[in-house]
Structure 1
Amino acid sequence: MERGATVFGRELRRRRETAGLSLAGLAQLVHYSKSHLSKVEHGIKPPSEGLARRCDHALGAAGELAALAAPPASPPPDEESVSDPDEVWTVVFDGGDVWFRAASRRQVLSAGAAGIGLGLLLPAGHGFERPAASAAAAAERDGARVLDGFQAMLAQSRALGQVLAPADLLPMLFGPTKALRRVAGQSSGAERDAMLVLASRFAEYTGWIAQEAGDETGAMWWTDRAVEYAATAGQHDMAAYALVRRGLIALYRHDGRQTVELALRAQHATRDPRIRGLAAQREAQGLAVLADRDGALRALDRAADLLDAAPTTAGAGPLGPTNSADQIEFARGWCLYDLGDTRRAAESLRAQYAALPATALRARARYGARLALALAADGEAEESASVTGRVIEACAQVDSATVRVDLRALARELNRMMSVPDVAAVRGPLSDLLNPAR
């Protein structure tokens, strides 16, 4: 049986010659050296995914060439809730660090204080506990005021999420979610439902911050809580949004098939135009990983129409990312990079990066990392190094496990350009960011 690198190399050479391109001509288009491409064509070197996609785009292979270099699919995600009905929320304090863990009551009791650290144990059962008398009295006296206060707290938390590291922000999010559940337990009717919906939004945001901290299990645990609280209030669209969130985790694993499958399920599970629009955007990103250019661009157009049709959301604000840039155009640049169209990707991402406010450090790290990656892949070494420097500064403050996915790919791209002084200058800081133990 022939090796994958041999099959890819032979097909690359066949398509290159059919297109009337010399090896040097293709090398110029994909920004790799002629000698490297020669080794790939002869099966001596395996192609990277990025090189395969760029060759696919340059030769108009419609995904067939990229598919030969695609990695094997990862195992399907666990579709069941990652929680246990008899568990507690454990906020662990250790050497100045604070993090969240869910554990069964039996585990906590058997481990004891020495086993789990000095922690705050918060019951996480599916019922709603009776709150302290003062909280219940406040809710009865002025429920609207309580809701307004928690809505302002969520808006503040989102703003802080742009400038704080996940480890610093997560402990601030546990308390409001817990408090809203308690107050909801002593409320009734529309007021109770509004509090549960707001608790759901806190839990959803906490899940996203947990993913930024690199905790996929915690991210889905909190997303499950968001679904639970919203469903108790009679709102079931959050279950569809949870599929969009699972799709994001699959996307960062570079699993296009799972991403598309979850996105399609989300679109069929709700009529909410914003959630369906976000799901269509996720579908487009998954299709781009699968090198389906036409399908990805059609899904993006559908996402734009759905998001434009979504009504303005009051209170806790809309689900999903919110910033001053055009989310669909950012997704378009993201997809174009994955499709190997690095020039157009850089153009789109450059415009969206410029639209972000200087204070939105997390968004600037996210957009900037993908822009720097597209610029490096397109041979724009100096501009890529300049953007990389700004991303490193932002990440030093906010940290992001998802941004590091792109930064690792960026480091590989920049390693091929070490003769450029600007690139050499950012190599050390980038390596330190990706390898803090060193």
Structure 2
Amino acid sequence: MSETFGELLRAHRVAAGLSMGQLAKLIHYSKGYLSKIENDLKPPSPTVARLCDGVLDVGGRLVEAAVRSASPPPDGRALGRRQVLVAGTVLGVGALTGGGQRPVPDEQVIAGMRTSFEQLRALGLRTSPQLVLEPLKALQHTVHDLARENAGAVGTRLLRLAARIAEHTGWMCQEAGDEHGALWWTRHASELARAAGDPDIASYAFVREAGVALYRQDAAATIGLAQQAQWIGSASSRVLALAARREAQGHALAGDRGAAERAFDLAARRMADAGQDSAYPVLGSSAPDPLELARGWALADLGLNARSAEVLDRVLASVPATSRRTRARFGTRRALAHALSGEVDESCRSLGHVLDDVAHVDSATVRADLRQLARTLGRWHNHGAVREIYPDLKRLLAHR
């Protein structure tokens, strides 16, 4: 007799050296719920099957077993009502009711959904997050629904794409000033990534959450979350580099220059080993030199404002005009570094170069830096350059 899903799950869990409680914690479900599945008292949902498969690293065996567990009995006996409902949950109700389940997406359909996502990402670099959030959420729900309807390789590919869309949606929520939404979507992306066996998103979700902590000025949480991201050793070199980059920013916020430099050096070594991600949209900043941009930011947090301004002046020169969000963020940081180093004229001049970018991207995180810049420049309120640019600065801050 072939093993049931519960028996197979128990065998793989024991082989991995995990207790039921440990596995439950790793997949973020209760131990009681997992116990019912192991004892075949409750059927596995596709999400739970994928989560367990990914955590236990068993190459799709549990996903396949979940599909088999929902198949009709081999002797052709009719299913009872409860069994029909259970199977409908696993396979999708349309498969059992004749409600017209959608056809399996082919390569062109999946490529088209990825292209739609990349177009929304590109648009988000140039305009307000409010314009892309609803389309992103709608696309994510569509891709996720298709992933639930399709098992095997197609379902896994769709689930990975759904995870990446969810991660980006979390960032746009943060840019819109919705921290609660940012955390929800980021954690949802992490759950989907674990279910799909995508260590990059599972790791990068911690990087993104560390970014939320960074803007809260919470150095300890920034460092801790960035370090958690690096414990997922099967993530790509690029993602681990971005995690070390975020850790460095946390150390700088804490004033630990030595730890920040070591983390930046580690990030640089990892980035040098990174290959091009061809299967899925690239994670993180698409700026030409994301590590140097972050280093410039960190130097200001360490109080080295003149050096910060010098680094940001140099790196921003290579950022294309189409990357409005990057230009707005780091251009504002550059103006702040110049102001904090006493270079008031240069601060106002450099801010003038990015005012249009700041207005277009409508970013809550950039406005946080603008408020600090306004307070700093306010100390020179009688200075000619400050008087000239201050009305534009106040207009941008009054926008929200």
User: Which structure carries more helix by proportion?
Assistant: 2
Distance 1:256 1:385 in 2: 29
Q: Indicate the residue corresponding to 2:84 in structure 1.
A: none
Q: Indicate the residue corresponding to 2:136 in structure 1.
A: 173
Q: Indicate the residue corresponding to 2:211 in structure 1.
A: 248
1:302 and 2:266 matched? yes
Distance 1:131 1:388 in 2: 56
Residue 199 of structure 2 contacts residue 232 of structure 2 at CA under 8 Å; is this kept in 1?
Answer: no
Report the TM-score when normalising by structure 2: 0.73
Quick one: which amino acid aligns to residue 181 of structure 1? H
Distance 1:168 1:246 in 2: 23
User: Which structure carries more strand by proportion?
Assistant: 1
Structure 1, unpaired ranges of 5+: 1-79, 82-125
Alignment RMSD: 2.3
| Identical columns (%) | 42
1:186-227 CA-to-partner distances (Å, cap 9, x unmatched) read: 322111100110011111110000000011110111112211
Residue 214 of structure 1 contacts residue 402 of structure 1 at CA under 8 Å; is this kept in 2?
Answer: yes
Aligned 1:27-106 pairs, distance under 5 A: none
Residue 284 of structure 1 contacts residue 296 of structure 1 at CA under 8 Å; is this kept in 2?
Answer: yes
Quick one: which amino acid aligns to residue 311 of structure 1? G
Residue 131 of structure 1 contacts residue 183 of structure 1 at CA under 8 Å; is this kept in 2?
Answer: no
Residue 369 of structure 1 contacts residue 403 of structure 1 at CA under 8 Å; is this kept in 2?
Answer: yes
Distance 2:199 2:286 in 1: 22
Distance 2:90 2:347 in 1: 52
C-alpha change, 1:246 and 1:422, in structure 2 (3 Å) is: same
Report the TM-score when normalising by structure 1: 0.67
1:290 and 2:254 matched? yes
* Higher mean displacement: 237-246 or 306-315: 237-246
Distance 2:101 2:163 in 1: 19
1:316-342 CA-to-partner distances (Å, cap 9, x unmatched) read: 32211112x311111111111111111
C-alpha change, 1:136 and 1:298, in structure 2 (3 Å) is: same
1:353 and 2:353 matched? no
Residue 319 of structure 2 contacts residue 327 of structure 2 at CA under 8 Å; is this kept in 1?
Answer: yes
2:170 aligns with one of 201, 207, 217:
207
Structure 2, unpaired ranges of 5+: 1-26, 29-88
Residue 288 of structure 1 contacts residue 339 of structure 1 at CA under 8 Å; is this kept in 2?
Answer: yes
1:223 aligns with one of 186, 206, 223:
186
C-alpha change, 1:429 and 1:240, in structure 2 (3 Å) is: same
Residue 164 of structure 2 contacts residue 201 of structure 2 at CA under 8 Å; is this kept in 1?
Answer: no
Aligned 1:8-407 pairs, distance under 5 A: 136-137=102-103, 140=104, 143-272=106-235, 273-323=237-287, 325-407=288-370
Residue 135 of structure 1 contacts residue 183 of structure 1 at CA under 8 Å; is this kept in 2?
Answer: no
Residue 326 of structure 1 contacts residue 352 of structure 1 at CA under 8 Å; is this kept in 2?
Answer: yes
Q: Indicate the residue corresponding to 1:73 in structure 2.
A: none
Quick one: which amino acid aligns to residue 175 of structure 1? A
2:380 aligns with one of 417, 420, 423:
417
Distance 1:392 1:127 in 2: 52
C-alpha change, 1:343 and 1:391, in structure 2 (3 Å) is: same
Residue 165 of structure 1 contacts residue 399 of structure 1 at CA under 8 Å; is this kept in 2?
Answer: yes
Quick one: which amino acid aligns to residue 136 of structure 1? R
Quick one: which amino acid aligns to residue 317 of structure 1? P
Q: CA deviation at 1:398?
A: 1.4
Quick one: which amino acid aligns to residue 309 of structure 2? A
Distance 1:127 1:336 in 2: 52
Distance 1:258 1:228 in 2: 20
Q: CA deviation at 1:127?
A: 7.4
Q: What SS class does the counterpart of residue 312 from structure 1 fall into?
A: coil
Distance 2:260 2:322 in 1: 31
Distance 2:92 2:250 in 1: 41
Q: Indicate the residue corresponding to 1:35 in structure 2.
A: none
Q: What SS class does the counterpart of residue 102 from structure 2 fall into?
A: helix
C-alpha change, 1:136 and 1:380, in structure 2 (3 Å) is: same
Quick one: which amino acid aligns to residue 143 of structure 2? L
Quick one: which amino acid aligns to residue 176 of structure 1? L
1:220-258 CA-to-partner distances (Å, cap 9, x unmatched) read: 111122112222222244332222112111111111111
C-alpha change, 1:135 and 1:223, in structure 2 (3 Å) is: farther
1:138-159 CA-to-partner distances (Å, cap 9, x unmatched) read: xx3x521111101111110111
